[in-house]
Structure 1
């Protein structure tokens, strides 16, 4: 997300005093000044002139960094850094009526991404929903135009001469698509509308992720399906939608078949994707589940197979000499039923996190996950709990594990590293090293990379 866009959002929505230095002339709305403007450049905003009263800027090339300001220009504090994400969110939280104010798609989506990447899914959903609503018009236009075209392929925006530029506002792109539709150019309208929807599809994917993390799988599926209705080959939506179908619709054979088709489509469209290997594996597992008649029957058949193998191992052990080492029996980890999610005292939540870490260190991922799912809804900002939940899902091999792991890294990679320290302190050196290796692999530009590499080399 562009920090400059977020800062502009904060200034616009908070309606605070101008951020210009003291004594700086007021800039009329819509004025776009050129850094190369000189005395004879004209005075109209449309021509890029500086506002009335602004000190004269030298003509010629843009002013290089470090060049002294023109005579009479107010002092600028060069040491003032832009606010951090936490500081920015505090400013936004204190802005009265922020959610209710009218926003452009770009502002609403920027706010949604800001809150989402910092683990505040409730606020993220509010703003992402507003961004989604801003895109509904061009989305409807695209679906209607595509229906008129039938099986004809959708042209690229370049082939359709849409004339879009990088970073162009969605409403401006929608205006182009609407103009094409009014002129009877259905193919051009479809191509331009489809190009305009690229950032809107990203918003729908984030909404799906936030809904899933909040426990609303049904609406998460709908969010991913919105993307696939526009772009059936969208990689992230395909993976998320199929994973969630497999995770939540284990007894619905038709839903399982749809999940398998989604994974197969992902592999076909993106054979070199990092997700392709897991998609192939899950497709095979779904095929086995469908043939068994559903997840319960599939699990029952696997349990029966394990009993047969266990009985064979027992018979083989009985034939061994008395002093020979006995083969270990396979451990059966039962899912711990989640308790009702009611408000908990801070001390109780801390204890649940500590117990979850103990479970992780002993390889009891399901029990750990049960603890973390009771904490995260009440403390969505708790990086320690999010890191533990992500590692539990990775350990369980859940299809959505990679997604939750990614969110934990984006919001607080430091907490993930500290979880490795905790595992090591509790005697799980192997688990700690595996966690650090995955962290180093998935965050190559990790700020604490040197210390992390030192831990891995021990």
Structure 2
């Protein structure tokens, strides 16, 4: 479902909620009865349709609207930000019983607005609505064994894009009751197509909120129903690559997953990236784990640099950082274990998993979150600042965000701090410098000077060209 459809469905939910109007007030958007006499404001005879531009908007023929489209009221459609504000004012919305379509629309609205943690409960509610259909499908597929499965069209399920999940589930159940196993499997799979998108999105949201084990479980649930489902096939391999770098079996699984993705979706725009990651996971497995592989690559790079004398003048931190497949320092090594520290996702995976539509509302939300992170940094509230930067990094890994995240990790004394600081300095030292200006403007003069001191030591060439020493006096 696209953002526009999510907005439409969510607007329909809000329209269905009883508004807070005085007793006897006519419903908003309802058609009014024609006056018995001519209106003094228009001068039109009784029964004359409203002139364009005079009085209420001309009525819209309901038959001209797509099935399920909310009634036209003459008002502009609300933006995502406006809908979210209205949703936040609805008491008990999360606990309220919802259809699959409404629950999934709410989840996708929050997700596409960059509010991943808040999207998860609604996406889960939508999945729960498909639970019985999933169980029926798996049972019928097992019963069918190796028999051929027809398509939904061949099985004459009768579904259209607008057919609700509940109606699809009924068709699959009826086929199973009649003993039409192949038809039940075909219609059940077509019904679950709606849920698979939702589940993959929830898995992405779990990973982006630092629950990699939970994300893997959901991806695997999707693949149990549809082994070649693109988002889950790629997502599962990417999470294994990012989080299980020392588990050779997991690396093998990631490699095989990327290869399966390439074979099943040869025209996908992610194929070139899948090939790169497939090669990297294969090399890491053969090296005995990600740490050994990165150490080997770093040693090779050090030898080449010393022979060609390419490292002269490079910032110390940049020379110490491990490179990724593109030759650039990685944001950090793969996450390990329980995820006590922030998930530092590689650029490759961030690009691959970022399926969020960058709407003006989302961009405004990201701007606000970065500004909040800088406010928290200036106040020394590093844990809270880390939460803010973690939300933004997968969606906007620019110099400003890298600088803020690096200084946050330095403040917390995290093991990955020096590596991430090196990435920020080597990629955009001016952004790090500007963060010092921001901290100073917000009253954190001590923090600004500490940042500039560290920047001058890490990037002496930049410090000289930017007259950094003057800021330290």
> Structure 1 length normalisation: TM-score?
0.62
Q: Does 1:389 align with 2:397?
A: yes
Q: Does 1:280 align with 2:307?
A: no
Aligned to 2:107: 112
Change (3 A) 1:98 1:20: same
What SS does the corresponding residue of 1:178 show, helix, strand or coil? helix
Do the aligned residues in 1 keep the contact of 2:241 with 2:254 (CA within 8 Å)?
yes
Change (3 A) 1:153 1:254: farther
C-alpha deviation, 1:187, in angstroms = 0.6
C-alpha deviation, 1:22, in angstroms = 5.9
C-alpha deviation, 1:225, in angstroms = 1.3
Aligned to 2:320: 332
Aligned to 1:210: 205
Q: How does 1:95-110 map to 2 (within 5 A)?
A: 95-110=90-105
Distance 1:192 1:77 in 2: 34
Q: How does 1:240-259 map to 2 (within 5 A)?
A: 240-259=235-254
Distance 1:258 1:388 in 2: 29
Q: How does 1:19-418 map to 2 (within 5 A)?
A: 19-21=27-29, 24=32, 80-313=75-308, 331-333=319-321, 349-350=373-374, 375=385, 377-378=387-388, 388-389=396-397
Change (3 A) 1:197 1:391: farther
Distance 1:387 1:236 in 2: 17
Aligned to 1:442: none
Do the aligned residues in 2 keep the contact of 1:14 with 1:95 (CA within 8 Å)?
no
Change (3 A) 1:149 1:392: farther
More deviation, 197-206/218-227: 218-227
Do the aligned residues in 2 keep the contact of 1:212 with 1:220 (CA within 8 Å)?
yes
Distance 1:393 1:259 in 2: 29
What SS does the corresponding residue of 1:102 show, helix, strand or coil? coil
Distance 1:214 1:166 in 2: 31
C-alpha deviation, 1:376, in angstroms = 6.2
C-alpha deviation, 1:114, in angstroms = 0.8
Distance 2:193 2:20 in 1: 32
Distance 1:77 1:281 in 2: 49
Change (3 A) 1:10 1:292: same
Do the aligned residues in 2 keep the contact of 1:264 with 1:280 (CA within 8 Å)?
yes
Distance 1:193 1:144 in 2: 11
Consecutive unaligned residues of structure 2, counting only runs of 5 or more, are 34-45, 50-55, 62-70, 323-330, 334-338, 343-368, 404-427, 435-473
Distance 1:353 1:262 in 2: 40
More deviation, 3-12/168-177: 3-12
Change (3 A) 1:394 1:156: farther
Do the aligned residues in 2 keep the contact of 1:14 with 1:92 (CA within 8 Å)?
no
Structure with the bigger RCO (C-alpha within 8 Å, sep 6+) is 2
Q: Does 1:11 align with 2:35?
A: no
Distance 2:401 2:372 in 1: 23
C-alpha deviation, 1:8, in angstroms = 0.9
Q: How does 1:427-438 map to 2 (within 5 A)?
A: none
CA-to-partner distance for each residue in 1:357-412, whole Å, 9 max, x for gaps?
Answer: xxxxxxxxxxxxxx9x96363478x86x66543679999xxxxxxxxxxxxxxxxx
C-alpha deviation, 1:120, in angstroms = 1.7
Distance 2:31 2:163 in 1: 33
CA-to-partner distance for each residue in 1:104-154, whole Å, 9 max, x for gaps?
Answer: 000000011111111222221111110010011111111111111122232
Distance 1:216 1:146 in 2: 31
What SS does the corresponding residue of 2:95 show, helix, strand or coil? coil
Distance 2:263 2:402 in 1: 25
C-alpha deviation, 1:66, in angstroms = 7.7
Consecutive unaligned residues of structure 1, counting only runs of 5 or more, are 26-54, 59-64, 71-75, 318-324, 355-370, 396-419, 427-458
Distance 2:28 2:386 in 1: 40
Do the aligned residues in 2 keep the contact of 1:214 with 1:377 (CA within 8 Å)?
no
Compute the RMSD of aligned alpha carbons. 4.2
C-alpha deviation, 1:309, in angstroms = 2.9
C-alpha deviation, 1:234, in angstroms = 1.0
Do the aligned residues in 1 keep the contact of 2:30 with 2:73 (CA within 8 Å)?
no
Distance 1:346 1:236 in 2: 28
Distance 2:299 2:432 in 1: 36
Do the aligned residues in 2 keep the contact of 1:339 with 1:374 (CA within 8 Å)?
no
